[in-house]
Chain A
Amino acid sequence: QQQVKQSPQSLIVQKGGISIINCAYENTAFDYFPWYQQFPGKGPALLIAIRPDVSEKKEGRFTISFNKSAKQFSLHIMDSQPGDSATYFCAASIVFDRGSTLGRLYFGRGTQLTVWP
């Protein structure tokens, strides 16, 4: 069972446009929602993360929008650049037991973003 559902699978955007990637989840126990960026030949790297009590977080051209009631969150890349071409993964983390350190991070299936110059 897929814990985090991500769409679209691929996305092509013109330079300067807005890229939007969406994710949905069911488990309300998730406590952080990060986005990872992966360039070809590299491992994924944390891009930005949000807590469920925050509706929006912005870092430069990257913004996470979070809708707790709909159990959805999205990544917006403003003024998309060719250098943003990469695979993006949304994820959700959960701690199994408050006060312990046991937990996991679940990933979506990824979105391959191509930004044309």
Chain B
Amino acid sequence: EAQVTQNPRYLITVTGKKLTVTCSQNMNHEYMSWYRQDPGLGLRQIYYSMNVEVTDKGDVPEGYKVSRKEKRNFPLILESPSPNQTSLYFCASSLSGQRLLYEQYFGPGTRLTVT
């Protein structure tokens, strides 16, 4: 089954404790992205990657890191989480190119709480 998987689905952590949220897709997509969803603010892009070793900042990159060492994986790293990073996080992927960039496939989400 074609899908985007994220782990963990739920995470409660404390301020300053490094964490990683994994994202993997099995559709051979070039483009992968991370979003955070907050009430009233919609989906805001954190980082995106056009292909292996190619990443760029989205609209809210502060406090996050990413890496793209393999085409299928795109982990999101919070080196020192803070309470304002409490949010619902989504990983997404798509084929790149003009026609297909808009058709993104989203994972099930990771609910992160930082106390």
**Interface: A43 (CB within 8 A):** yes
Interface of A is mostly: strand
A32 on the interface (CB 8 Å rule)? yes
In Å, the complex CA distance between A111 and B108 comes to 19
For the complex, count residues of B whose C-beta is within 8 A of A.
Answer: 30
Interface size class, chain A:
20 to 34
26 A–B contacts, CB within 8 A, in A order: A32-B99, A32-B101, A33-B102, A34-B102, A34-B103, A41-B108, A42-B108, A43-B90, A43-B108, A49-B103, A93-B101, A93-B102, A95-B98, A101-B50, A101-B51, A102-B96, A104-B45, A104-B58, A104-B101, A105-B33, A105-B102, A105-B104, A107-B42, A107-B44, A108-B42, A109-B41
What is A's interface to B at a CB cutoff of 8 Å? 6, 9, 31-34, 41-46, 49, 89, 91, 93, 95, 98, 101-110
